[in-house]
Amino acid sequence: MAKKKIVILPKIQNILNELGENIKLARLRRNLSSQQLAERANISRPTLTSIEKGLPTVSIGSYLLVLHVLGLEKDFLLVAKDDVLGRKLQDAGIIQKNRASKRMKNEK
């Protein structure tokens, strides 16, 4: 079976690039080489390089391993925590006028 090509929108790629850059800066602030971080996260150095470049083919588990070594794994829990749009949609669905069914109107 041939591998399916991943199509990433530019907006999403920019987010991945920024995430990779943030991870790289966190590594450098801790004065860790890429080899040290890769070994501690139990991933290959090329995988870490892919993470820092924001490549979309890296598994989310690898990202979490790196964040754990950097002490930033709890930051991952902030993703979708404050889902403003979702809450508005939920609230809109909750506040619905209740109407009597047609059958009930005919019985009157």
pLDDT tens string 59-96: 999 999 999 999 999 998 988 888 888 888 888 876 55
Q: Which of 23-32, 43-52, 98-107 has the lowest mean pLDDT?
A: 98-107
Ranges of each domain in the chain: 10-81
CATH entry, 10-81, from 3.30.300.30, 1.10.10.10, 3.30.460.80, 1.10.260.40? 1.10.260.40
Kindly list the distances between the CA atom of residue 41 and the CA atoms of 7, 47, 64, 66, 106, in Å, as whole numbers in the listed order: 28, 10, 9, 5, 69
> pTM for the whole thing?
0.76
DSSP character for 44? -
Q: Do 73 and 64 contact (CB within 8 A), yes or no? A: yes
DSSP character for 32? -
